[in-house]
Structure 1
């Protein structure tokens, strides 16, 4: 009976299938873009059913559909298209690119994908291809000028160096105010570089060719779900997945690029050589106030005789042509059951600076699987290794390595590196380094030949997600991710004394291991709320655990026993061995995100998250009353008024949306900062104060803990609008925001007699107010040619509302006597100095007698000399498409923001920089006069200054009071003589008596940031060669400055490190442009 039933059932099913098949027809087709390029991975569905398929690598598809069916084709970045079959068996469909992004799906917090039109806060998304095409080692640099509100500046250190990133203004007084980066759920920080050396951050180990998209979340409402780690904003990076296709696809790209120095970091004069008083002298160091270089023979400090001639390019000749090669190979495939993508990247970069190299290997895998009807999974893993050798260095901490500093401060303008860089001139007669008095560049050339500083890094990251669909309104999502970073620094320095021996021989090896993992569980509920209401509720919990372990820093002491043997055991004295303990931090969280829409035109989002941070937790039984739990909500709303008022608005208004949001985010601090313990020390035993002093209990940190520390709080309001006109040919996106950061955790310096160096407090209130504007336009659009324009601009104003009782000023940064501060009533980054001009009632600088070294000097005083933050940031991008050709041009500008140039300061005092040409002779404004020896000179200079009250000089046996006289008036009365260039420029730029205010400038600039020309071979030709695609691109990066407000062409972006408070350069790297060719082939 049962067998008969089964046979009957089987026969019935076969009949049903036959009837269904007779009513279906096979439809084949090809999907292309407007350029004729086949589109793989396009979803093709029969409207109103779940029946469908996907286009293959060649853009072709085949589906079984009803004769009167309508096909719906959808693809990310393109406008959905419906095509009636009408009995056809072959169809060709051309999808149009959705340039206006009105229905674009973007990745938001916690990796959730949302339609951008439904968001109540500002989000900017860039395609991964726009980032990868620049071939920047650090992908952050590729965002420069492309996102309103995002201020990016390159940092010294070479191509791998981590740039400075400021998103909607400075947000913290403790120095940690840069946004985080989230790569497929794994969080990375844009670590601040140490002073004067920048090895870059972990992002340089990732491959931009693996990026699908980069999303910038600016405001607190956009980042609130990430909790305290995203208090300064977040940049999301989503990597590429494999596409379902027939067979396996392979893409290969090769980039070859050159880096060329096209201008030194500051213009130098090429007329006057070594000396101080208009006469050549070889024993005055780097002073270039000697006689005019005329080609006559002069004797150098080592006795060598050479022509006394200018070397106009000597500051550039020590650099080389940099070379950059990047090879990428990826393969992908899959079906509707699962996809995969596997990639490998190999990068080699030799910088323009000798012995500055970077190499990287990156492997990445991403896979997805539809395990069953209700269960799907996605996983990815990345492994990378890199090696950085000898990054460029600035400033005084590494003066031997800082060739830029030497050109302005150490080398006279007749210095010839082609002579002094030879081994016989930088080596001593018995090995070791030559005497610096004869070759002031010997230390630089010596260390270039023998010393090295290397960092080796490895990175592994992984992410896994599992989605279970319980019902049509409920699904569960589980996510896990981890990362592990390891880095090892190795420094090798050979001794400088004879036979390469001495106490300055040095070797050190230091390492650090960072790890983190995150587990997230989330339930997503999508209840049916009626015909006009839709809603989604996400409920989740998360735990994040991070740690720093295996920290060590071991070094030799007293020199190396055997030269060139670099091992800790080769130390003359007992080696210094330091191992730091494990640092671990845990944040446990619960969160929710609720979204409700009405009539698909009014949208409301409410989120909330509560964090419990271990960094703010005290042990049981302690006296602390800190709060380790903090909750932060957000609410945002959007109204698409063009849907509501579609019958009342004129046709030329294509689209319009208003948005508003409010959010509050909390923040904590690094681990083990509030639980400082004690240990027993014999610090004072055997000291000069007595051998029998008892053991003492001291803090194991120099920072006094605060038992009542609370989270910092950031409250943010945002209003915005997105409006488009003329059939979406012209669009505006505007945002206004106000962010109030209170209760900040500040490390406040304390008096030395307190026994600690600083203490943590909650204090300070700071407000950022700003506007952002993006304008998109398409002036020309026809069948073969399209011209798109994108203009973005932003302005942020900061105000320090309060600090803490008794403190009205905090120092943020300092360089050469100039300080960036935060003061009550002022703004973040106000620049002050004790080396400013003292001025009279009319604003003229005041001078007085100078003493034995200089006849006169400016009277120095405290002065506010500027502010480091820009007034405006602008970006203008033009994109032209003609058939298979494309051309993109990016211009980026920074208007306002002050900058201190120590190179200008000390170059002025030494007479090496171009600005010191004024007054050298009559041709350059010099005054003819007779000096005290009766010699007629033509290099007199009159300071534009007034004499200080009480200034008295002796003239012809009489005491003459110069009170209130300008120097010009005193000169005309015969009381004083003109100053020589050496005397005048020493008053301005000397290390001891100089005026730092004279080297603080408005650093406005307009840069030609990027030009990209590309060509895609036509489909017919590519198919003839049995390829899927072939594209050739020529890209130029950092091509030059259309306007630079700094004098002597100082590099306005060459800040010494990537801190938000950085404002200065000292021996900056030169101007470098990059030009490269990329060939990409798809199989």
Structure 2
């Protein structure tokens, strides 16, 4: 592998040397100006010499200059205008007027394997975004930039911070094993959008690419669109094409600087600010100012500013602090500097860029920095041979990902505000006292929250990443109908994790001191050979045929893991050799995988109106090959797609208000495999280390390499997909509608099922399960206003996906996908993917007659209240109750873009309608009395009932739960036994049998960890967000020319500005899911509401 990488790098360097040499050759210079029909100069028009990579781009004044052969033909193209070809015929000046063409009929998009096609000829949906749309969002992970802009794309963030990976699902969940992410193809190199089911989210490899280098982003959602990528693209593909150099006079230089501020403007969940520590609205017994600081409960006295005694004995003012849950955050700062240089002539082009990004998150000590370099070039070696290649190198460091939202360690500050800190907690006060004079962590009984402050200031976890990727393609154009392409690419990732934790005893000593070091190496390389034929068929037929072979190889594994044991001998000296006991060490070999493939793609067109595409690919996967060389490791999958441009063939008979129309349909199959070594049983050598104080290591032993039993008869999973759609435009293309309907079935899925303990393993692999997705996608574009100086464009996209589990394994009706706090997510036969269930729900009351038969009764269906000692909790329904589903009903996006002269203004509204989450913050915040909704009933002004308690004290915080006492429940009242069974609490209160509950008892019934009802904290997480607002201004050319510039543009961009609608109670953040796995459904601690404001300056020379 190392020799291969060196060879590829050497070849790439030699190639770029050839490109630089070729740049020195010049030909005849042709210049001119490009305007629209109104005579306005057009900047950014691509002017190329036909048949070559030689070209230039018009300046802000619409002028261009390019060196071409005397008999060359110029090809001019620009988005929204008809492409034109102009013969030079020896002229030195060629001025061109481009005609507007909003149909974009000849728009070329990148499809699978990097093959460029005219979009009008495709029989499946393709959505393309310009790279500038992604770059302007200033998102570290480019996935976030797609939110709300593409129909059929569901994107969810995670709670790990700005560098965290986002979950993206195209056309619904498809896998029972959680692998639902599309692949990302960056200049031909395939990267996985790996998601983290853990609460520590460092992000994935995508954060190491610079979005300012992106030329376009193409989303391929259906199987017909991705079939040529094989099994790796079973969940869709997102193609990213980076910028190339252009032909121009001299060297072009572009600079940009972005400064962005991130502001935590609202706490993750609304907290009440009236009542502090305590249980029954009073101070500790026999005291007048000592708080009952127990369990983080906030059912104590009303905060009125009087002096109270804290657990450490000091006295402070007992006053509300409305923003104390935000006091732990800081102003986030983001700086991104980009420099690029480009140039070229008719022989070669190049572009080099460098970017430096630094981000300090709103969460303390959550930082990310990145250096990225990109070099891309083309070279026309001869009339036959041309080269196209690029190299990307990046280094990054992510430090202390935000642990808020789900992680239960000390660093989840959001959880502590909900569960540990009473509402009178003063972070400024306690932060200063987290250490004792001896530099040990303060006693938690004396300093609640000392564990958080100690960890925040003395623990670090950072990841150092290095990424190198390269691609190179050699094209031989032998005739005007035959060309051969040989290309290769590779990538190598090296990640090093370092965890540093000091001890909690005096002078930072103690057995909990830790240093851990882990190094992970991943690599892959691909070689592809392809023949592309475009023969002349004659008549009104056109066709093409592509034939190819490919091999993909990958290796992934943890090379080395080391950690100290028993603490650090010298505190704060972080080295493995500083371990008190023998350190733990583990080395794991790389897991390798190979897929060999052969494929074809045939296209046929008739009368430039009927289009047919047929593709086929066969994969041979090493992951499905047994150790004896056999196995069902070969799988073939075809695709068929067709399009009819009816406005072309019926142009004389269709109504005049229909400007353009196309109908399309496709059918495809895609196969899927599994990870390496899942079908072959094996052993590995593992070291076990004694955790006692002696730290003596046990000898290495052989053990199973996994807790899953392999399956010697495993087969590929199969996805079958059908899609129909239409693209119709009206009123001279002022309104356009693109609609698609799809249905996909994935069968023979490779899943794990529990197995008996006698086997020695926990699970086994089988082929089982059938899942179906059906959905509809709509995209509407409208040009509301078109004027020389003012335009207004509107885009609306929406999608709805319905999912159903058709079958699982024989005898298996459900599989658990995820769980949290006694709430679970299942795949259940007959249900949609991601059904939320719990056996901690209400038991509905059912009245019965003397024989035990159910009878009608007004109280039927109300929650049953049972007696447990002195408590009156609701009775659990121990059978699983369906309480929600994680799948949204609709995803919507609405964008409006305005231009006025040199000004531009745009905004994006994004909505997610439906889809439920479980909020542990609401659950336990209710039980602890910290959330705002627990204000109800606290006093008469908030609906509390006035009553006299058992001690003869008059109170106004009485509350009546909605429930029915269980049958047979009896109390003793005035020496008389009274049966309350079947009676509501209200009825019992009205008859004088019971007194109202205190808020502590009332809310504890619902939200206490031990007795609370989980189903009351499952909510519809619908929201409508103002996702993006941008304002830009381009300086006039007469100004920039005086300053010796080609262009200067400034932009102000706001992201995540607020929610126009949020369905969750207590204003809980609807986008704070604890991790980004497909089955993620819960949050605990949430994350604050954060908005970003960025200012960007772009200068071109």
- TM-score, scaled to structure 2: 0.92
Q: Distance in 1 between matches of 2:464 and 2:980?
A: 64
Residue 737 to residue 681, structure 1, CA distance change in 2 (3 Å): closer
Change (3 A) 1:231 1:925: same
Separation in structure 1 between the aligned mates of residue 371 and residue 88 of structure 2, nearest angstrom: 49
Distance in 2 (CA, whole Å) between partners of 1:460 and 1:63 is 34
Secondary structure of residue in 2 paired with 1:916: helix
Residue pairs, 1:613-692, within 5 angstroms: 613-620=621-628, 626-678=631-683
Residues 77-156 of structure 1 correspond to what in structure 2 (within 5 A)? 78-81=81-84, 92-95=95-98, 99-156=102-159
> Shift of residue 38 of structure 1?
5.6
The CA deviation at 1:1025 is: 1.7
Structure 1 residue 99 displacement after superposition: 4.8
In 1: Cα distance, 2:510 partner to 2:31 partner: 80
Q: Give, in whole Å, the separation in 1 of the partners of 2:928 and 2:39.
A: 60
TM-superposed deviation, 1:570: 1.3
- Paired residue secondary structure (2:874): strand
* 2:1010 maps to 1:1010: no
Identify the residue that residue 238 of structure 2 maps to in structure 1: 235
Q: Secondary structure at the match of 2:354?
A: strand
1:406/1:1067 contact within 8 Å kept: yes
The CA deviation at 1:399 is 2.2
- Cα distance change on mapping 1:265 and 1:37 into 2, 3 Å: farther
* Residue of 749, 767, 775 corresponding to 2:754: 749
Q: Report the CA distance shift for 1:835/1:35 in structure 2 as closer, same or farther (over 3 A).
A: farther
Instruction: Provide structure 2 residue ranges, at least 5 long, that are not aligned to the other structure.
Output: 1-27, 284-290, 691-699, 847-858
Deviation at 1:569, TM superposition (A): 1.3
What is the aligned partner in structure 2 of residue 5 from structure 1?
A: none
Change beyond 3 A, Cα 1:159–1:55: closer
Structure-to-structure mapping, 1:529-568, within 5 angstroms = 529-568=537-576
Q: Deviations over 1:668-711 (max 9, x none)?
A: 111011112147999999xxxxxxxxx99853321111000000
CA distance in 1, matches of 2:58, 2:816: 60
Q: Residues of 2 paired with 1:102 and 1:752: CA distance? A: 62
Q: Following the alignment from structure 1 to structure 2, what is the Cα–Cα distance between the partners of residues 531 and 905?
A: 71
Shift of 1:854: 2.3
Q: Is the 8 A contact 1:845 1:858 kept in 2?
A: no
Q: Give, in angstroms, the shift of residue 827 of structure 1.
A: 1.1
Paired residue for 1:584, among 585, 592, 601? 592
1:836 to 816, 833, 841: 841
> 1:461–1:71: structure 2 CA closer, same or farther, 3 Å change rule?
closer
1:952 deviation in Å? 1.9
- Alignment match of 1:381 (pick from 367, 382, 391): 391
**Larger deviation, residues 149-158 vs 56-65:** 56-65
Q: Which of the residues 911, 923, 939 maps onto 1:921?
A: 939
Contact persistence 1:363–1:384 (CA under 8 A): yes
- Aligned counterpart for 1:930 among listed residues 927, 930, 948: 948
Pick one of 1037, 1044, 1062 that aligns with 2:1080. 1062
Partners of 2:617 and 2:251 in 1: CA distance: 43
CA drift at 1:69: 12
1:279 is aligned to 2:282: yes
Give the distance between the partners of 2:818 and 2:675, measured in 1 at CA. 20
Q: Deviations over 1:869-906 (max 9, x none)?
A: 00000000101011111111000000000011101111
Distance 2:238 2:553 in 1: 21
Partner of 1:301: 311
Asked if structure 1 preserves the Cα contact closer than 8 Å seen for 2:31 and 2:63, the reply is yes
Offset of residue 441 of structure 1: 1.1
2:765 to 750, 760, 768: 760
CA contact (8 A) 1:922 1:939 kept: yes
**What is the CA deviation profile of residues 928-975 of structure 1, one whole-angstrom value per residue up to 9, with x for unaligned ones?**
111111111100111111122222222222222222211111111111
Q: Is the 8 A contact 1:1015 1:1032 kept in 2?
A: yes
Helix, strand or coil at the partner of 2:585? coil
Q: Deviations over 1:359-417 (max 9, x none)?
A: 00000000000110111100100000000010101366442000000000000000001
2:192 alignment counterpart? 189
SS at match of 1:959: strand
Counterpart in the other structure of 1:499: 507
Deviation for aligned residue 1:196: 1.2
The residue number in structure 1 matching 2:1068 is 1050
CA distance in 2, matches of 1:840, 1:351: 50
1:775 paired to 2:780:
yes
* SS of aligned partner of 1:1009: strand
Task: State the shift of 1:102 in Å.
Answer: 2.6
Contact 2:406-2:1085 within 8 A present in 1 as well: no
Find the aligned partners of 1:542 and 1:1027 in 2 and give their Cα distance: 46
Q: Is the 8 A contact 1:357 1:390 kept in 2?
A: yes
- 2:584/2:689 contact within 8 Å kept: no
Give runs of aligned pairs for residues 345-356 of structure 1, distance below 5 A.
345-356=355-366
| Counterpart position of 1:509 | 517
- Map of 1:480 onto structure 2: 488
Q: Cα distance, 1:600 vs. partner?
A: 0.7
State the Cα distance separating 1:65 from its structure 2 match: 12
Go from structure 1 to structure 2 and tell me whether the alpha carbon gap of 1:884 and 1:93 turns closer, same or farther (over 3 Å shift): farther
Q: Which moved more, 1:553-562 or 1:796-805?
A: 553-562
Task: Return the match for 1:42 from 25, 28, 46.
Answer: 46
Q: Could you tell me how far 1:92 is from its partner in structure 2?
A: 4.6
How far the C-alpha of 1:51 sits from its partner, in A, is: 14
Deviations 1:191-231 (A, max 9, x none): 12142111001000000000000000000000000000000
Once the two structures are TM-superposed, the CA of residue 66 in structure 1 deviates from its matched residue by 14
Aligned alpha-carbon RMSD (Å): 2.7
Q: 1:35 to 1:668 in 2, by over 3 A?
A: farther
**1:1037 matched to which residue of 2?**
1055
> Per the alignment, in what secondary structure is the counterpart of residue 246 of structure 1?
strand
Q: Structure 1 residue 31: deviation in Å?
A: 2.3
Q: Give the superposition deviation at 1:844.
A: 3.8
**CA distance 1:896–1:180, shift in 2 (3 Å):** same
Q: Is the 8 A contact 1:31 1:42 kept in 2?
A: no
Cα separation, 1, equivalents of 2:1078 and 2:870:
39
- In the other structure, the counterpart of 1:467 is 475
Deviation at 1:513, TM superposition (A): 0.4
Asked if 1:427 is matched to 2:435, the reply is: yes
Matched, 1:595 2:629: no
Please tell me whether the aligned partners of residues 1023 and 1063 of structure 2 are also in contact (alpha carbons under 8 angstroms): yes
Per the alignment, do residues 99 and 56 of structure 1 end up closer, same or farther by CA in structure 2, a change over 3 Å counting? Answer: closer
Residues 113 and 273 (structure 1 numbering): CA distance in 2 closer, same or farther, change over 3 Å? same
**Is 2:875 the partner of 1:847?**
no
After TM superposition, the score normalised by the length of structure 1 is 0.93
Deviation string 1:37-87 (CA, Å, 9 cap, x unpaired) is 6646732679xx999975665753569999999976334664224779999
Relative distance call for 1:739 and 1:353 in structure 2 (3 A) is same
- Partner of residue 699, structure 1: 704
Contact 2:1025 2:1061 survives alignment (8 Å)? yes
- Corresponding residue number in structure 2 for 1:889: 907
Instruction: Give, in whole Å, the separation in 2 of the partners of 1:680 and 1:29.
Output: 71
Asked whether 1:912 is paired with 2:930, we answer: yes
